[in-house]
Structure 1
Amino acid sequence: MTVIPQIASFASELTEIRRDLHAHPEIGFEEVRTSGIVADALRSYGIDEVHTGIGRTGVVGILRGTGGAGRTIGLRADMDALPMEELTNLPYRSTNPGRFHGCGHDGHTTMLLGAARYLAANRDFKGTAMFVFQPAEEGLGGARAMIADKLFERFACDEIYGLHNSPVLDLGQIAVFPGKAMAGASFFDIKITGRGSHGARPHDAKDPIVIATSLSQSLQSIVSRNVDPMLPAVLSITKINAGSAYNVVPESCELGGTFRFFDDAVGALLDRRMREICAGAAAMYDCEIAIDIRNVFSVLENHPAETEAMRQAAVEIVGEENVLTDPSPMMGSEDFADMLHAVPGSYCWVGHGGSLPVHNPGFVLDDEILPIGASLLARVVERRLSA
């Protein structure tokens, strides 16, 4: 492994930054403290321009190389935490109840700061490096907010790159491959309004719980009976909420969940069939069923040339034997996909030690990953903007 020596020299400072961010997590569009720390750090590194408030709480840094005008290479990291409790007992665990960096975005932010610090001190490249610190990745549309705020119109960008930590890979392994890499996703909420009654007189009710269980089974059959089995898809009911007492049939019941897809036509099919089944269930049970479906993630598709560029940079940092290029698409989703729809680029996974997956309350990010990720991002810029 050949981590950039200058980045390795300040790895302990990166760890301090990451642990401070970890102790003060902020969820989507609330990253006021985080974005302030990012902006101050960029200014202290000597980044030429620092712009705040992009997509509400996003930050953009612009660094011009000394080699003259040229192309612009973007690097992106997400900043938000998850709305969940942390159960790690780390000395730097979350001090904000119900907020936890359980996906490692504190690490992503720190890696990009490390790359920015190194490039600001070694700007002998031709063109511009652009550092994009994005809010609200966890299903709240932060990438779309930045794009709607004219991110790529205000700051022209030729290519853009991003990464994610992976406790599934070993420390020092990097996975990157072209094509469809992460699923598109929609979230949905369904409200069934029936008629409540005494629990001893169910015949007086239009029981929304019975309707909900039947509807849940019907919805789960969409993938197995409507989607081509050669096209991956997932539909999951993840929430059912109803009732307040043992002897009351409730008036309403609410369901929620997500569906995932790698083909937009499959996503449209899932959307349509859900609405049709809900309408049919409302007629069958003589009740009201309201459904709200929101597309929150596009399919993430890596561009071939840019993916090869990231692969080559990864080989320089961790060695050929540690770069995994066999396609292994994930049903998880990532809103960097929307940036890749606007600008060509690539997204990869960087391995680290750990036994628990992301989004687990006991998830711990291995700080040894920080100089690796920072070196990878910096090397991508150096290779793509070589003078």
Structure 2
Amino acid sequence: MAPELAEWRQDFHRHPELGYHEERTAARVASLLRDFGLDHVETGIGVTGVVGVLHGRGGPGTEAIMLRADMDALPMHEASGVAHESLEPGKMHACGHDGHTTMLLGAAKHLASTRNFAGTVYFCFQPAEEGGAGAKAMLDDGLLQRFPASRVFGMHNWPGMAAGHFVLQDGPVLASADEFTITVKGKGGHAAKPHLARDPIVAGAALVSALQSIVSRVVDPLEPAVVSITQFHAGSTHNVIPESALLMGTTRTFSDKVQAVIQAEMDRICAEIGRSFAVEIEIDRGPTPYPATVNDRAVTDFTEAALRDIFGDARVVRGHPPTMGSEDFAFLSREVPGCFVLIGNGDSAPLHHPAYDFSDEAAPAGVAFWSGLVERALPAG
């Protein structure tokens, strides 16, 4: 299947689409699933999500599992130099979702041809993972009511690990992510007369420093946490104190409790600095904070056994340390016991880098994993 997988993947790569705008991608996914002979294909779930339904040899059976892949790209310019480089300026598959979609399609094709399992598999192709909470949108659209699965599985590529090798871990594997925007409203004026203004830049600078004290002085030092200010916008020229300043960033942790502590402390710091500098400070959090991704131990044990059975011990590692990156697979695994696995992408550029490209060498191993996992989770007997 390798040449066919590469053709699909490179086509998706040439035509990246951002979250909730994956019209072309979703249409091709649905078309291919129908061509494979799946029992049912449903589109438009959570705006642009697609779910394919495949029954085993004996029909729907009594158990169903869900396999999930994401489809969206990132709003960044590609500089990979590959022949299949993005044709859409300012958009690229810099996180490998083109590969994730391809691997799940490959498994759907293979399993549809063999049906060597008993029960039902739901192939879930999700929009808007990159900050848009597409998994939650699909859940809000009745995903699990319409496609009730007992277990859910996800997979992400991992640069720097040998292509086609796997790592997994039970418990927390990826952090929560809360986006925030802080607006500092002061009083503008001439730079030569700062005493007649209320400088939002000075207040914003104090905020940047004070917010860093949350992790070092408020959060339990045994609890991983990150507070990052990633944008600071203010002013338009040399000699004018602006009316306002804008700060943006994220907070990350593995604990709901710590997440709440950080939010409360941010609110307190914003209020106190606002009073101290006589400016108004408003904090606006993103509409859908991502929770931490936590793997269920029993499902992880099963997944590890399946991986070792398929690939042997040399290509499977358990015990990968958690990462402070985040994933909206967390919304699914909070509803249904699940496991999120990493597959090696070889010696590629890092994720979210303009030179990144998914390794087509990894795709057949991903298809083998998905297919073998289904056959072991839903044995035909």
TM range (shorter): over 0.9
Match of 1:24 among 3, 6, 15: 15
Whole-Å Cα distance in 2 between the matches of residues 277 and 291 of structure 1?
11
CA contact under 8 A between 1:140 and 1:296: conserved in structure 2? no
Q: Is 1:65 aligned to 2:78, yes or no? A: no
Q: So what's the TM-score if we normalise by structure 1?
A: 0.96
SS at match of 1:342: coil
Q: CA RMSD in A?
A: 1.0
Match of 1:316 in 2: 309
Q: Is 1:51 aligned to 2:42, yes or no? A: yes
Whole-Å Cα distance in 1 between the matches of residues 62 and 54 of structure 2?
12
Match of 1:4 in 2: none
CA contact under 8 A between 2:93 and 2:357: conserved in structure 1? no
Match of 1:370 in 2: 363
The structural deviation recorded for 1:28 is: 0.4
Q: Is 1:262 aligned to 2:254, yes or no? A: yes
Whole-Å Cα distance in 1 between the matches of residues 289 and 130 of structure 2?
9
The structural deviation recorded for 1:256 is: 0.3
**After the TM superposition, which residues 166-315 of structure 1 pair with which residues of structure 2 at under 5 Å, given as runs?**
166-294=158-286, 295-315=288-308
Match of 1:382 in 2: 375
CA contact under 8 A between 1:183 and 1:330: conserved in structure 2? yes
Whole-Å Cα distance in 2 between the matches of residues 313 and 243 of structure 1?
57
The residue type equivalent to 1:231 in the other structure is E
SS at match of 1:321: helix
Identify the range of structure 1 (202-211 vs 31-40) with the bigger mean alpha-carbon deviation.
Answer: 202-211
Q: Is 1:91 aligned to 2:83, yes or no? A: yes
The residue type equivalent to 1:357 in the other structure is P
The structural deviation recorded for 1:355 is: 3.9
CA contact under 8 A between 1:278 and 1:289: conserved in structure 2? yes
The structural deviation recorded for 1:318 is: 2.7
Query: Which residues of structure 1 form unaligned runs of 5+?
Result: 1-9
Whole-Å Cα distance in 2 between the matches of residues 190 and 327 of structure 1?
35
Whole-Å Cα distance in 2 between the matches of residues 205 and 319 of structure 1?
68
Match of 1:5 in 2: none
CA contact under 8 A between 2:164 and 2:361: conserved in structure 1? no
The residue type equivalent to 2:7 in the other structure is E
Query: Which residues of structure 2 form unaligned runs of 5+?
Result: none
The residue type equivalent to 1:19 in the other structure is Q
The residue type equivalent to 2:22 in the other structure is E
Q: 1:328 to 1:372 in 2, by over 3 A?
A: same
Match of 1:6 in 2: none
Q: Is 1:122 aligned to 2:133, yes or no? A: no
CA contact under 8 A between 1:199 and 1:249: conserved in structure 2? yes
Match of 1:145 in 2: 137
Whole-Å Cα distance in 2 between the matches of residues 124 and 112 of structure 1?
17
Whole-Å Cα distance in 1 between the matches of residues 11 and 115 of structure 2?
28
SS at match of 2:303: helix
| 1:267-322 alpha-carbon deviations (Å, 9 max, x no partner) | 00000000111011111111111101235211111111211221122223332122
The structural deviation recorded for 1:327 is: 4.1
CA contact under 8 A between 2:161 and 2:347: conserved in structure 1? no
Match of 1:42 in 2: 33
Whole-Å Cα distance in 2 between the matches of residues 72 and 355 of structure 1?
35
Match of 2:342 among 344, 349, 361: 349
Q: Is 1:106 aligned to 2:106, yes or no? A: no
The residue type equivalent to 2:148 in the other structure is A
Whole-Å Cα distance in 1 between the matches of residues 254 and 106 of structure 2?
33
CA contact under 8 A between 2:46 and 2:139: conserved in structure 1? yes
| 1:143-187 alpha-carbon deviations (Å, 9 max, x no partner) | 000000010001111111110000121223200111111111100
The residue type equivalent to 2:316 in the other structure is V
Identity, in percent, stands at 48
Q: So what's the TM-score if we normalise by structure 2?
A: 0.97
The residue type equivalent to 2:162 in the other structure is D
The residue type equivalent to 2:193 in the other structure is R
